[in-house]
Chain A
Amino acid sequence: MRVRLAIVAAVLLGVVGAFAYAAGWLTRGLTPARFIDTFERVNGVPPPSGFRRNHAKGMCATGLFESNGKGVAISKAVVFEAGRVPVVARFALAGGRPFAADTPENVRSLAILFWLPDGEQWRTGMNDIPVFPVSSPEGFHDQLVASAADPRTGKPDPAKMAGFLAKHPESARAIDLIKHRAVSSGFHDDTYNSLDAFWFANAAGASVPVRWSMVPVQAFEPAGAAQPSEASKNQLFDALIARVRNGPLQWRLVATIGEPGDPTNDATLAWPESRAKVDLGTLSLDRVESEDDGPCRDINYDPLVLPAGIEPSDDPLLSARSATYSESFRRRAGETKLPSAVTAAEARR
């Protein structure tokens, strides 16, 4: 009798143990929740209520994407059939501080949700850097910890940063490229890159690796020398608001086609400049709004919300981005929304 009861207990314990292991409760490995905890710790606890844990400062933009139909040759995604689809976009600054002052050299991002006519969606988050500084989620986490401000000096500890670069030579190379990029004057004349690779699959079943970019129609102007005393806290966003008031801002969506041997699993490595490029169409943004009353705040720009015809590559950052964005969204969705740095009045001015 006792032996048989013990068997019942052992089976139950085994099932519960397997469940706890699957849930990550028995190990200290990096999980989406622990990743977002680190973002919060680095940027100051408690996190400002209701904001994204990264790319926290931003504003919404809306308009449409007009496909020229050329993309149909490489992808069966509905978005590439000739025609127009509405978009909800978001311009933002990298970093987890929603009230930080704008600086020209801060990495800028453009996230876009394309509403496709068949009910599918395409969400993408792009940055204005030539390559990503890390190749893996662990590398991202190491960089985040190393770049945290030392509580005594208020600045990152150079020794920790040096340790990170020694451990991640791929990041040392990528960060060097990023530092030497040409910084544009504002959001409007900036180029935004997917960085991660994806696969485009056409109707015939052929697949090609692709990285895409939003290339501005507005002429590039280099960022001027920073004048922190004169510059407003929201100088980049204010300039964007002023630009849009003068007419729609436009970007060409350009797909760069990878060739065999081009890395699809390492966003720190650029593909050769000689790769074929396909102009897929034009993004036009004719309206900007504050996050407070705009349509982008409650959107999670998960880079793996893809229409049929665009597929994830083996880049490990993609699944990790999807997982951590979801965790960040889960937390902020339930929080009281503090007013954004770029206010509704400012966006309408």
Chain B
Amino acid sequence: MNAGAKGTGQFTLPARVLHWVMAAMILAMLFIGVSMVASLASYHALLSIHRPLGIAILILVIVRFAVRLIGPLPPFLATLSARERRLATGSEYALYALMFALPLVGWAMLSAARLPIALWGTWHLPPILPHSAWVYALLREVHAILAYLLFATFLLHLSTVLFHILVKRDRLLRRMLPWKA
């Protein structure tokens, strides 16, 4: 128990809070996204949540990455092999990249369609790309592909953690629990 948050073996409190808040937001976002494009009745209501929630995630992921770079990390569990440690770090960076790219591509894609990125009342974001239908078409595909990739990466993350909790029983989850454990 050397590094970690003051040697507790857990991530720092801001890191843990951001993890669980963003987990809920991102999971909600994936379900909202995939159901709104399949819905006639709820499309508008869901889209009205999707855009501001996406921008909130974009802001939070930047904060979270800064917290990740600054804060001390708890050590890996002794039960993890060198290969597993590399996999864990790799999937963590993949998640960061997707959490950042998805809302940014969403913003860019709406910009290319010249659709307003309305957040609240008259408050909206400026376009970040010139008006172009083909750029919209391309980014709209990219947005969907990245969303499926994020969902797949989330599933991988979830199954790994579940495997550790239920099969290996090595108290891996403890590192990220929001309370002191």
B contact residues around A23 at 8 Å (CB): 34-35, 38
B contact residues around A322 at 8 Å (CB): 43-44, 47
A1, A24, A333: the one contacting B134 at CB < 8 Å is: A333
A4:B155 contact, CB within 8 angstroms: no
A333:B133 contact, CB within 8 angstroms: yes
Total A-B residue pairs with C-beta atoms closer than 8 Å? 122
Q: How many angstroms from the CA of A305 to the CA of B126 in the assembled complex? A: 15
Residue B124 lies at the interface, judged by CB distance under 8 Å to chain A: yes
B140:A120 contact, CB within 8 angstroms: no
Secondary structure at the B interface, as helix, strand, loop or mixed, is helix
Interface centre among B30, B42, B116, B159 (most CB of A within 10 A): B116
Which chain B residue shows the least CB distance to A78? Answer: B122
Secondary structure at the A interface, as helix, strand, loop or mixed, is helix
B40:A319 contact, CB within 8 angstroms: yes
Binary contact track B137-173/A, C-beta < 8 Å → 1, others 0: 1101100000000010001001100110011000000
B115:A308 contact, CB within 8 angstroms: no
B contact residues around A320 at 8 Å (CB): 40-41, 43
A8, A31, A119, A324: the one contacting B162 at CB < 8 Å is: A8
A1, A12, A31: the one contacting B40 at CB < 8 Å is: A31
Q: How many angstroms from the CA of A305 to the CA of B48 in the assembled complex? A: 11
Residue B16 lies at the interface, judged by CB distance under 8 Å to chain A: no
A35, A316, A333: the one contacting B136 at CB < 8 Å is: A333
A334:B116 contact, CB within 8 angstroms: no
B contact residues around A219 at 8 Å (CB): none
Q: How many angstroms from the CA of A297 to the CA of B35 in the assembled complex? A: 28
A119:B167 contact, CB within 8 angstroms: no
Size category of the B interface is 35 or more
B158:A11 contact, CB within 8 angstroms: yes
B39, B118, B155, B162: the one contacting A16 at CB < 8 Å is: B155
Which chain A residue shows the least CB distance to B43? Answer: A323
Q: How many angstroms from the CA of A54 to the CA of B113 in the assembled complex? A: 19
Cβ < 8 Å to A, chain B residues 38-78: 38-45, 47
A319:B122 contact, CB within 8 angstroms: no
Residue B19 lies at the interface, judged by CB distance under 8 Å to chain A: no
A15:B158 contact, CB within 8 angstroms: yes
Residue A307 lies at the interface, judged by CB distance under 8 Å to chain B: yes
Q: How many angstroms from the CA of A22 to the CA of B27 in the assembled complex? A: 12
Q: How many angstroms from the CA of A252 to the CA of B35 in the assembled complex? A: 40
For the complex of A and B, list the 9 residue pairs with the smallest distance between their C-beta atoms, beginning with the closest. A334-B137, A24-B38, A323-B43, A333-B137, A333-B133, A320-B40, A319-B44, A22-B35, A298-B133
| Other A-B pairs beyond A304-B44, A320-B41, A334-B141, 5, CB < 8 Å | A19-B151, A120-B118, A318-B44, A320-B43, A333-B140
